[in-house]
Amino acid sequence: MSNSATETLIGAVVLATAAGFLVYSAQSIGVRGASGGQYDLRAAFASAEGLNVGTEVRMAGVRIGTVTDMGLDAATYQAVTTLAIDTSIRIPDDSDVKVASEGLLGGTFVEIAPGGSPDMMAEGDEFIYTQGSVDLINLMLKFATGGQGE
Do 15 and 61 fall into the same domain?
no
Residue 150 lies in a domain: no
Residue 95 lies in a domain: yes
Cα–Cα distance measured from residue 59 to residue 139, given in angstroms and rounded to the nearest whole number: 26
Residue numbers in the chain where pLDDT is lower than 50: 33-35, 149
pLDDT tens string 32-56: 544 468 999 999 999 888 899 999 9
Q: Is the pTM above the cut of 0.85? A: no
Helix H or strand E segment including 20: helix 2-28
Residue 85 lies in a domain: yes
Cα–Cα distance measured from residue 41 to residue 48, given in angstroms and rounded to the nearest whole number: 16
Question: What is the number of domains present in the chain?
Answer: 2
